[in-house]
Each structure stands twice: as C-alpha cells, then as structure tokens.
Amino acid sequence: TEALRISKEFGATSPEARVAWDVVEEMDSNDSSAAFTNTIATSAKGDYFNQVQSLAFLMKGAKEKLSQMKILSNHLKDLELNDPSLTQLGEDSEKMRTALAEAKAAVDIHGPHSPEAESAW
C-alpha cells in the first residue's frame, strides 16, 4: 500500500511514515466491514487520502521553515542596515540580496501566502 511505499522511501521511523500509518489506522478503525463492494474505488480513495495527508504534513513543515527563513532574513537586513560593510563578507552576498529582494517582491505582489511568494522564499 501507500504507507509501505512511504515507509520504504522515507524510512520506517520517519514523520512521513508515521503520518501514513496513522492514516491507515484511522481508515481501518472507521471501516467495520470486511468486504468492499468496489475495491478499486476504495483503494483509489485510500491512496488519495493518504497522499493528501502526507502533503498536508509536508506543507506544515515547509511553512514552519518558511517562517524561520523570514525571521532570519529580517535579522540579516537589520544587521546590514546597522553595518553596511557586512554585505561584503559572504561570497554569495549579491545572490542572497537578489533572492531576498525577489522574495519580498513576490510577497508584495502576490501576498504572503501565495504559491509565488512561498516558492520565492
């Protein structure tokens, strides 16, 4: 099943595998019948549900990291404002400034929770 695939791909003790097996457990506890009238449809629904749950879990982790990245970029901006010479320290500082400017522009144009803004961050 999908839970087995996720366990193999991410590891049996990974958060993704735990979510997948929790979903399997939940589905098993909600279904009291031993026989399904349409196993193909049920299997597709189960697979779809598992994938949606896994995606939701991954998105939650991505949003947490996105929040941390925004905090860090704001802190860097404050440091640069206090001492502009700091921008010369990193060899990739120009790339970083460009990426930050593009991410901030995406937030301004498309909104902070838009796919474009999240992708830019």
Number of domains in the chain: 1
* pTM of the complete model beyond 0.75: no
- For helices 15-30 and 39-82, angle between their N-to-C axes, nearest 10 degrees: 140
Q: What pLDDT sits at residue 30?
A: 60
Structure token pair of residue 13: 């003790």
Q: Has residue 7 been placed in a domain?
A: yes
Structure token pair of residue 22: 């929790």
Q: Has residue 79 been placed in a domain?
A: yes
Q: Has residue 111 been placed in a domain?
A: no
Q: What pLDDT sits at residue 90?
A: 64
Q: What pLDDT sits at residue 89?
A: 67
Contact yes or no for 49/101 (Cβ under 8 A) = no
How many other CB atoms are there within 10 angstroms of residue 46's CB atom? Answer: 17
Q: Has residue 121 been placed in a domain?
A: no
For the chain, 121 residues long, the average pLDDT of each consecutive 10-residue run is: 80 82 74 53 79 84 81 86 78 72 82 77 71
Identity at 2, one-letter amino acid code: E
Q: Which domain holds residue 68?
A: 2-89
Q: What pLDDT sits at residue 29?
A: 67
Look at the block and give the residue holding tokens 């399904």: 36
The long-range contacts involving 103-108, CB below 8 angstroms and separated by at least 24 positions, are 103/73
Q: Has residue 99 been placed in a domain?
A: no
Q: What pLDDT sits at residue 39?
A: 58
Q: What pLDDT sits at residue 61?
A: 75
Q: What pLDDT sits at residue 117?
A: 73
